[in-house]
């Protein structure tokens, strides 16, 4: 059984992965990253093979919270955000499907579990029925029983088709979101965030494809994967060539996690010092590359 006693207090940066300079300068405290707390922590858990971090994520899901209480903003801080005009932030219990997807992905990437143990861990992640759309439900079932694999592939393929079709309208919706006000602006904001095929959705689909081992879906997503995104290429099952291997082995860690973005971050992007313990983008690239080498060498 998971209990709150399993929660391990660590540095705030461990959970949020960055402290935003703009946030400190404007608001006097860091409010960035809380909504993605589980996603980032689950990613770290897999990259570092850290069971404590993974248990933290599962405990938060069990309590139906996006981040732990010790990261919650107090009333004064929330008031400051509203007074400064910053209205677009989630509450602690405003849950979405992404935290569940990333936690399940990390369970599949943890080493040292046999098949039965891994399935038991997957069963421990209980998704509320109102969030269990067909794609998420079938994906979890496919992780537990391969007979659901074909159905999951069909549903995700249809979602990919829909997102690719709506992607051509996304730039126009972004422009409308900037110029409209009130309900019309909210309408276009919803379109931008829920349709099209942005980088973070491709990364999430890549994770789902990778842990189910679907070559069919991987080949499809690979066609729309940027040449620079080596993490997504490995998730899709790409066979790396010599130049890509050389790039991966010599890659220096940068701030944040560029692999779920839509554009390559230039070499001028701020690099983290080598003494930095948590190197999110490099840790994930190294983890997947090492798994790729093991599979290639049999």
> pLDDT tens, 28-47?
666 667 778 888 888 888 98
Alpha helices in 110-148 (DSSP H): 115-124, 134-144
User: Rounded mean pLDDT of 151-157?
Assistant: 96
pLDDT reading at 50 higher than 50 = yes
Alpha carbons 202 and 163: distance in angstroms, whole number: 10
Percent share of the chain, pLDDT over 70: 85
Alpha carbons 186 and 208: distance in angstroms, whole number: 29
**Residue bearing the bigger pLDDT, 126 or 192:** 126
Alpha carbons 204 and 184: distance in angstroms, whole number: 29
Q: Is the pTM of this model over 0.85?
A: yes
The reported pLDDT for the residue numbered 163 is: 92
**Residue bearing the bigger pLDDT, 208 or 5:** 208
**pLDDT by residue (tens digit) across 103-130?**
999 999 999 899 999 999 999 999 998 8
**Residue bearing the bigger pLDDT, 6 or 154:** 154
**pLDDT by residue (tens digit) across 55-64?**
889 989 999 9
pLDDT reading at 166 higher than 70 = yes
SS3 56: helix
pLDDT reading at 26 higher than 70 = no
The reported pLDDT for the residue numbered 223 is: 94
Question: Lowest-pLDDT range, 50-54, 75-79, 224-228?
Answer: 75-79
**pLDDT by residue (tens digit) across 200-257?**
999 999 999 999 999 999 999 999 999 999 999 999 998 888 888 898 998 888 877 8
The reported pLDDT for the residue numbered 97 is: 93
Q: Which residue bears the tokens 């070559």?
A: 215
**pLDDT band at residue 14, thresholds of 50, 70 and 90?**
very low
pLDDT reading at 268 higher than 80 = no
CB contact at 8 A, 208 and 192: no
SS3 254: strand
Alpha carbons 135 and 176: distance in angstroms, whole number: 30
The reported pLDDT for the residue numbered 278 is: 67
C-alpha dihedral sign at 221, 48, 8, 279: negative
What are residue 254's DSSP bridge partners? Answer: 271
**DSSP code at position 95:** -
CB contact at 8 A, 149 and 156: no
- How many other β-carbons are positioned within 10 Å of the β-carbon of residue 291? 14
**pLDDT band at residue 88, thresholds of 50, 70 and 90?**
low
């Amino acid at each position: 059984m998971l209990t709150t006693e399993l929660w391990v207090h660590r540095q705030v940066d461990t959970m949020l992965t960055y402290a935003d300079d703009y946030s400190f300068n404007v608001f006097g405290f860091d409010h960035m990253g809380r909504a993605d707390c589980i996603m980032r922590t689950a990613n770290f858990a897999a990259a570092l093979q850290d069971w404590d971090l993974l248990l933290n994520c599962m405990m938060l899901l069990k309590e139906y919270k996006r981040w732990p209480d010790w990261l919650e903003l107090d009333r004064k801080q929330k008031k400051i955000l509203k007074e400064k005009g910053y209205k677009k932030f989630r509450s602690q219990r405003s849950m979405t499907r992404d935290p569940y997807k990333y936690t399940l992905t990390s369970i599949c990437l943890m080493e040292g579990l046999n098949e039965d143990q891994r399935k038991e861990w997957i069963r421990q992640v209980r998704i509320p029925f109102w969030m269990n759309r067909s794609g998420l439900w079938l994906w979890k079932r496919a992780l537990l029983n391969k007979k659901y694999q074909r159905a999951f592939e069909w549903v995700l393929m249809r979602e990919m088709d829909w997102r690719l079709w709506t992607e051509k309208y996304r730039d126009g919706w972004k422009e409308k979101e900037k110029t409209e006000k009130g309900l019309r602006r909210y309408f276009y904001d919803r379109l931008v965030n829920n349709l099209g095929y942005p980088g973070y959705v491709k990364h999430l689909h890549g994770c789902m494809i990778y842990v189910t081992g679907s070559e069919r879906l991987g080949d499809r997503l690979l066609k729309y994967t940027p040449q620079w995104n080596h993490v997504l290429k490995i998730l899709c099952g790409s066979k790396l060539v010599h130049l890509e291997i050389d790039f991966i082995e010599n890659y220096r860690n940068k701030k944040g996690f560029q692999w779920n973005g839509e554009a390559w971050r230039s070499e001028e992007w701020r690099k983290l010092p080598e003494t930095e313990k948590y190197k999110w983008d490099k840790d994930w690239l190294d983890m997947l590359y090492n798994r790729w080498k093991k599979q290639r060498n049999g």
